Amino acid sequence: MELLFAPLEGITDHIYRRLHRRYFPGVDRYFTPFLSPTQNHVFPPRELRQVLPENNRDVPLTPQLLTKNAADFLWAARTLADMGYDEVDLNAGCPSGTVTAKGKGAGLLADRDGLRRLLDGIFAACPVGVSVKTRLGVRDPEEFPALVDVFNDYPIVRLTVHARTKAEMYAGPVHPDAFAAALAASRAPVCYNGDVRTAADVRALQARFPRLQAVMIGRGMVADPGLIARLRGARVRQDALRRFHEDLCRAYCDAFGGPGSAIHRMKAIWALMLPSLEGGEALAKPMGKARRWEDFTALADRALALPRKGEDALGGLAGRYSEFCGL
């Protein structure tokens, strides 16, 4: 079964991915935070940095595209194919209101005829494999059988299903029964996504869904960077997390021209890591308030000395991340 690293905007950029791959091997494929091709047919510098081959050496990577226009998707896919990519991912799952209001992301699910027209255009001329990340529906998981009927008409290389609706965002329980129905009905290989935080979660999915082709993990992977490495039985250095953190700090200071923006980026990462550590919650408030690099690194050093919680103690990562970062 494939183990995939989901994209997280503002966290899993090319710097994070490259260093994660160095210290924690085992991820089968990483995905970029979504790129938004427009009719200008030019990647902005920030997006271009995410996909330049020299920034992703030795990282198995699929760029994710957010658009409702087939011509824009095809331009981006051809450009990425020229860079050497063999797969692109259509984002039909982002539940953000600013995205869905434009009919993109999970907004595509509200108009099945429009979704079919988009897929017709994409699969008529796309030079690389196309995977799709989706949700169970807009408001009700019962919408998904009709969506599967649409997806089944196309040679999708992987259908990643976040087991919630658009309306549910990232809150509340997932819908394993609705996902089971999707798994049974889909002609494409299916990947599970949604509230996977521990190795036990992955093993439970394997046991419940023997036909499952892949699991995609996002916040749980940032909370525990060695999760997939341990599942794969890879050898991880005892000091890997500390070295990973130190290299991230240096790389972000270099990339952002100083510690100011680097602190902001590292806080977003620690917002997901702290709840996974014994006593980590006590450091969340002071770390969130830290402004000086010296104060932040002193708190990070204390956090790095904390032991990990037991797997059954993890939970609520999405909510804590939003609260910690002031989102």
DSSP letters, 198-215, are: SHHHHHHHHHH-TT--EE
- What residues form DSSP beta bridges with 133? 91, 160
pLDDT tens digits, 186-214: 999 999 999 999 999 999 999 999 999 99
Q: What is the per-residue pLDDT for 311?
A: 53
Q: What is the per-residue pLDDT for 236?
A: 80
Residue pair 205/216 in contact (Cβ under 8 Å)? The answer is: no
Residue 57's contacts (CB-CB under 8 Å, 6 or more residues apart) are: 18
Residue pair 66/36 in contact (Cβ under 8 Å)? The answer is: yes
* Parts of the chain with a pLDDT under 70: 311-327
Global pTM?
0.92
Of 216, 116, 206, 195, the C-alpha closest to 156 is 116
CA atoms of 107 and 63, how far apart (whole Å): 20
Phi-psi region of 215 (alpha: psi -120 to 50; beta: other; left: phi over 0): beta
SS3 of 250-262: HHHHHHHCCHHHH
Tabulate helix, strand, coil % of the chain (nearest 5).
50, 10, 35
Q: What is the per-residue pLDDT for 238?
A: 80
Q: What is the per-residue pLDDT for 234?
A: 80
DSSP-derived letter for residue 176 is H
Domain with CATH 3.20.20.70 in the chain: 2-231
3-state secondary structure of 92: strand
CA atoms of 274 and 218, how far apart (whole Å): 15
Residue 167's contacts (CB-CB under 8 Å, 6 or more residues apart) are: 95, 138, 139
- What residues form DSSP beta bridges with 62? 31
Where is 5: in which H helix or E strand? strand 2-5
Q: What is the per-residue pLDDT for 237?
A: 83
- What residues form DSSP beta bridges with 190? 159
Count, residues in the chain: 327
CA atoms of 314 and 60, how far apart (whole Å): 28
Q: What is the per-residue pLDDT for 50?
A: 97
Class of domain 2-231: alpha beta
Residue 90's contacts (CB-CB under 8 Å, 6 or more residues apart) are: 64, 65, 73, 122, 130, 131, 132, 133
